[in-house]
Structure 1
Amino acid sequence: MGRKTHPRVQRAKGQAAIIALRLLGALPFAVNRALASFIGTLLSWLPTRALTISKTNLAISYPALSEEERTRLARKSLVESIKNTFEIALFWRHPNQGLTRIVAVDGDAPLRQAVQDGKPIMILAPHLGCWEVLNFWLATEFGLHAMFAPSGLPEVDQLVRQGREHFGSTMYPTTARGVAGLVRAMKKGALTAILPDQVPDRRSGRHVPFYGQPAYTGTLACKLVRQTGAVTFMAWARRLPGTQGYEIRVRPADPAVADDDLDTALAAMNRSIEHLIDESPDQYLWSYKRFRRPPDGLKAPY
């Protein structure tokens, strides 16, 4: 049984996090981006655990690249990750700033048609680009129903929920009751978005290939698609250079995500994620331990 953190320690962590987030959120966007670029570049050249994990993931996912190319890509990804942390601190406090910085949208016509037809929609949005900006766009354009998992820091959770619900999103707890509520909404034609590349708990996933390596993959998204008949799309908010803003990109998911065979559906979902990442691999969160829960008999690569 894991050790419980003392409530006072949790409160102190939450208060410290809020102070840091508010300081970052008080900076103008140009200053926020410049500071993130500077700190990210500095950190990317240090022998951190994040750099090691990123290089390991890239060696698995892009074996054709040379070690020098993978190191360069890992460093770029770390800089982009710092940018993401800094910008969402700003946008949680000032959501309108995130929304107004969307300067282009690509590939959304099929999504709009499906919404017009009254069909339930599943958006699969991996850890790519700025997912909070994507949330704002989806909520504003279509109305968004999504799951919310508490971080364990109530002060931070309150800030996050305020930002995400600013444009009228409906949030559901990550419980059986929350999933049931989401299913009811989807069957009535609601649009939902899920992060499909998180490593789930030991009862909520299966091992299927991700860039050719067995990866423990959450089953919720594919089960919801099958249960509700949802039309499925991939989407992300691409971070443009400098302070140019963001481009929303929407792509159709592999049709096999709705297959009756769950392993087939999950493999199709992971292929769809791969194709999205390949559009701009430097903006993917390679420092996340995606392969940390291998099949029995294999060791995690980290």
Structure 2
Amino acid sequence: MGRRTNPTIQRIKGVIAVSLLRLIAWLPYAVNRAIASLFGAILARLPGEARHVSRINLSLSYPHLSEVQRHHLARQSLLESARNTFEIALFWRRPEQGLKRIVAVDGDGPLRQAVEDGKPVMILAPHLGCWEVLNFWLATEFGLHAMFAPSGLPEVDDLIRSGREHFGSTMYPTTARGVAGLVRAMKKGALTAILPDQVPDRRSGRHAPFFGQPAYTGTLACKLIRQTGAVTFMAWARRLPNGKGFEIRVRPADPQVADDDLDTALTAMNRSIAHLIDEEPAQYLWSYKRFRRPPPGHQAPY
């Protein structure tokens, strides 16, 4: 049997987490960014897990770079990740602050045409840039339907849902009933977004190449694309230099994400993610253990 979670301890954790998030949320944006930059700079210099994992992921994904280049990229990524964490804390509490900082949009023409034509649309949005800002933009421009996985801290979940639903997003639980509801909405022409680079549980994924390495990859997105005939795009919110806001970038996904062969589709999806990351690798979440579930006979690199 698995270890039981003490509900009192979980509630205390939730209250503490929400209190910290609310404190961050009330800081002026310039102060928020300054503190995040300081925190990120410290994190990048400490010999902790985040730096360790980032360096390993970068060595696997960009072997052509020198060690000095990869270490510099790891530092930049940790700095951007800290900024993202502090921004999200602010934007969950004050979503309008995130939306108003979008200053440019690139590549959205085909997306708007697909929505205008009444076609179901799938947005694949990896952990690149500020994905919550992307959610706000999608919700206000098109209406957004998305899955929501509880964190185990109800107080935190309430804060997240409040931020994400502020602009009218429809959230579905990560259950069979939730997926069925999402499929029904998509078949009626809804737009949905999925984080495609999370490591799924052992029943929900298959291994597919990611930057040339076998990565356990969730199958839900490709199955939904094939089942609904969704037009598929990649998208992210690029953080502009010097706190000048965000640029939404939309790109067509590799057409093979809709292939009947699931392995081909997953490979195409991961290839599309990698191409998006290549636009600005420093804004990807390299501290995430993307390769932690290797194929049989292999060891995780961490």
- The two structures have a TM-score, normalised by structure 1, of 0.99
CA shift at 1:8, angstroms? 1.1
In structure 2, distance between residues paired with 1:100 and 1:160: 19
Q: Distance in 2 between matches of 1:31 and 1:242?
A: 13
Q: List runs of 5+ in structure 1 lacking aligned partners.
A: none
SS at 1:242's partner residue? helix
Quote the residue 2:159 is aligned against: 159
Between the aligned partners of 1:213 and 1:43, the Cα distance in structure 2 is: 27
2:146 counterpart residue number = 146
* 2:62 counterpart residue number: 62
| Alignment correspondent of 2:184 | 184
Please state if 1:24 is matched with 2:24: yes
1:199-214 superposed matches below 5 A: 199-214=199-214
Per-residue deviation, residues 97-136 of structure 1 (Å, max 9, x unmatched): 1000000000000000000000000000000000000000
Measured after TM superposition, the shift of residue 266 of structure 1 is 0.3
Shift of 1:65: 0.5
Q: CA deviation at 1:2?
A: 2.7
| 1:258 aligned onto 2:289 | no
Query: 1:194 maps to which residue?
Result: 194
Q: Aligned partners of 2:243, 2:59: CA distance in 1, in Å? A: 31
CA distance in 2, matches of 1:117, 1:63: 43
Indicate the SS of the match to 1:86: helix
Residue 241 of structure 1: how far off its partner (Å): 1.1
Aligned residue for 2:229?
229
Per the alignment, residue 246 of structure 1 pairs with 246
Q: Structure 2: how far apart are the matches of 1:42 and 1:89?
A: 19
Distance 2:24 2:210 in 1: 35
SS of 1:34 mapped into structure 2: helix
- Corresponding residue number in structure 2 for 1:103: 103
* Aligned-partner Cα distance in 1 for 2:143–2:10: 33
Checking the alignment, whether the CA contact within 8 Å between 1:33 and 1:242 is kept in structure 2 is no
Structure 1 SS opposite 2:278: helix
3-state SS of paired residue (1:163)? helix
Task: Give the TM-score normalised by structure 2.
Answer: 0.99
Provide Cα deviations, 1:49-86, integer angstroms capped at 9, x if missing partner. 11000000000000001111101100110011110110
- Secondary structure of 1:103 counterpart: strand
Structure 2: distance between partners of 1:75 and 1:185: 41
CA positional deviation for 1:39? 1.1
Q: Deviations over 1:19-76 (max 9, x none)?
A: 1100100101111011100111111111011100000000000000111110110011
Structure 1 runs of 4+ aligned residues shifted over 2 Å read: none
Quote the Cα distance in structure 1 between the aligned partners of 2:11 and 2:94. 24
DSSP-derived class of the 1:96 partner: helix
Q: Distance in 2 between matches of 1:152 and 1:106?
A: 36
Structure 2 unmatched runs, 5+: none
Q: Is the 8 A contact 1:119 1:230 kept in 2?
A: yes
| Structure 2 partner of 1:291 | 291
C-alpha distance in structure 2 between counterparts of 1:2 and 1:73, whole Å: 39
Equivalent position of 2:43 in the other structure: 43
CA RMSD of aligned residues (A): 0.5
Partner of 1:268: 268
The alignment covers a number of residue pairs equal to 302
Q: CA deviation at 1:5?
A: 2.1
Q: Which amino acid aligns with 1:218?
A: G
| SS of corresponding position for 2:20 | helix
Aligned-partner residue type, residue 174 of structure 1: T
